[in-house]
Amino acid sequence: MNRPTIYFDHNATTPLCPEARNAMLPFLETAFGNPSSYHHLGRQARASLQSARRELAAVLKCSPAEVVFTSGGTEANNMALRGVAAALKDRGRHIITSAIEHHSVLKTAEALAGDGYDVTFIPVDAQGVVDPECVAEVTRADTILISVMSANNETGALQPALELGACARRHGIAFHTDAVQTFGKIPMGAVLEHADLVTLASHKIYGPVGAGALLVRRGTPLASVITGGHHEHGLRAGTENVAAIAGFAAAAQQAVSGLDTEAARIAALRDRFEERLLATIPNISINSRAAGRVPNTSNICFSGVESESVLLHLDLLGICASAGSACTTGEPEPSHVLRAMGLSSMQAQGALRFSLGRSTTAEQVDMVVGVLAGIIKKLREVSSL
């Protein structure tokens, strides 16, 4: 069976773009110096690191001094939450976040709760969106941080990062947003202006795995979580991954150039996908459809079937997608995001996420719709529900 792969899982990771690859190659070959070294190889690496930082800062319209490179989104989220918590522990111990955050925020917030911080998890509405009013209501004198993602990774639902940032600023509270799923998908200038801390990841924007960044707005209180040398403005010790960082900066430049055209192209493909699915397959529902969404993400509940069974059928046909839950122990944990939106455990069992990207074509969309129609019909014939 030699079917070409159809990749509808771009929210998980993306293939490396040629621009990123080319930017990386020198550092994988001859330019292997440590940016902290005195000699010419070190200076070369240091200069390359600085230019990558300048490039990313230009993309983000911030100062290079505000860019802290990390190993990826998870580390940047840990750095933001733990760093602010540690820096402001004498001022207050209340942290606000949402119920639909990525686990790198949720689990970190839970860990902080175990360390004596008071964490409030804000619920979302049926469309999977945080209500800024809710956040304002739970804000207290001892609130030190509000952390809400810019868009959800499972549903694509955009969060009111702007309003939240403004609210946080009014109250003198630090605002962090995990922008891993928005950066490179939609223009995000306004969000950047309203946030004190912004998490970015390279491998979601056609850069390599192993690089990410935390944008730290000047004056934001942040203790260093990883201690050691004076790397990254003293905020993140450890020899810099110059190759990955160079690839990340190149990928970021590429992602924002022509972003509007590409976002519109992908949005049209996503809409085509959803309209055709709705017309072809009965008893499906599209999650967060009434919310603003990043243009590439479609999260769909297929009633009466279990998502892993759909995934395997798709995979056998060369199609990559992903599920919110996976049955591994007999008690699968359905997606915390869909559950927070009020979906039943049963409904969440049948949810799949399709995330489109640069390689996606209308032909692929139509093929996946056709294939899905057959798979769902077949599984429903077997289903006891």
Residues catalogued as catalytic:
327
Q: What's the one-letter identity of residue 156? A: G
DSSP 90: T
CB of 309 vs another protein, minimal distance in Å: 5
227 touching another protein, by CB under 8 A: no
37 touching another protein, by CB under 8 A: no
5 touching another protein, by CB under 8 A: no
CA distances (Å), origin 62, targets 160, 263, 340: 21, 23, 34
The C-alpha atoms of residue 193 and residue 215 are separated, in whole angstroms, by 11
332 touching another protein, by CB under 8 A: yes
Tokens of 106: 């949720």
Q: How far is CA 342 from the centre of its chain?
A: 22
CB of 241 vs another protein, minimal distance in Å: 22
316 touching another protein, by CB under 8 A: yes
CA distances (Å), origin 213, targets 181, 200, 204, 247, 294: 13, 5, 12, 13, 20
Chosen residue from 189, 219, 330, 363 binding another protein by CB under 8 A:
330
The C-alpha atoms of residue 338 and residue 81 are separated, in whole angstroms, by 24
CB of 239 vs another protein, minimal distance in Å: 17
- Residue 352: closest CA among 328, 329, 368: 368
110 touching another protein, by CB under 8 A: no
Cross-strand bridge partners of residue 67: 215
Chosen residue from 9, 110, 125, 308 binding another protein by CB under 8 A:
308
Helix, strand, coil percent content, the chain, rounded in steps of 5: 45, 15, 40
Window of 117-125, 219-227, 252-260, 299-307 that interacts with another protein by CB under 8 A: 299-307
Nearer to another protein, 323 or 337 (CB): 323
Chosen residue from 327, 367, 371, 373 binding another protein by CB under 8 A:
327
Chosen residue from 193, 346, 361, 366 binding another protein by CB under 8 A:
346
* Number of residues counted as binding another protein (CB under 8 A): 25
98 touching another protein, by CB under 8 A: no
Contact residues for another protein, defined by CB under 8 A: 304-306, 308-309, 312-313, 316, 325-332, 344-346, 349, 381-385
